[in-house]
Amino acid sequence: MLRTAGEVGDGWMINQFCPAACLPGLRRGIIEEAVRLVEQGRERGRTETPFKKIFVSHISVSRDERKAKDFAKRNLSYALSRVLTAKYLGTIPVAPLLGFTQAQIEPILDAYNAGLGVEGAARRVTDDMVHQSGFLVAGTPQQCVDPYGELVNHVRKQGFDHLIVGVPLGPDVPEAVQIITEEILPSAI
């Protein structure tokens, strides 16, 4: 898929819920393999056309730490529900990459299987899982500045053209947008 994106596409978009693009994946350099595969495709394909590399980050921020993390758990629950069986690039098991065990993830899967939906599954995601997964950055503005800055540095090193700040943003979207634009992005960029 990555080679095909490079070969026939006019761009590539990856988001932080992807194992290569979550903070542990970025720290371990897994993103480099994904970028290399896209570049291989570019070499075989339409190298004369412009090609955009877009990174979608995920953040949940609020002045109320509890609200920011609880809101993030909704999105995180479905991302975590896939990690036990997922392999990135067909070979890299996702759960160990993120440091998760089957015992940690099974309660989330059980909630979905029992029909408890996103809210029921989110209640089974711990604060430690929010931080450990790196699928998103969550907390108060002060708690988000450093990890978001780290993410931006990795994105720059890989030559991405665009950075999108994606959902969940936060429990109070107008507040979150203001915090992101006035406090987090100026510190991270």
Q: How far is CA 73 from CA 5, 59, 136, in A?
A: 31, 11, 10
What are the boundaries of each domain within the chain? 2-188
Torsion on CA atoms 31, 32, 38, 40, rounded to nearest 10: -160
- pLDDT tens digits, 130-145: 999 999 999 999 999 9
Q: How far is CA 54 from CA 10, 11, 48, 138, 167, in A?
A: 11, 8, 19, 21, 15
User: Residue 20: pLDDT above 90?
Assistant: no
What are the φ/ψ torsions at residue 183 (nearest 5 degrees)? -120, -45
Average confidence (pLDDT) over 167-186: 97
User: Residue 84: pLDDT above 80?
Assistant: no
The domain defined by 2-188 folds into TIM Barrel (3.20.20)
Average confidence (pLDDT) over 167-172: 96
Q: What is the pTM of this model?
A: 0.90
- pLDDT tens digits, 85-102: 787 767 778 888 888 888
- pLDDT band at residue 182, thresholds of 50, 70 and 90? very high
User: Residue 79: pLDDT above 80?
Assistant: yes
Residue with tokens 């993120």: 98
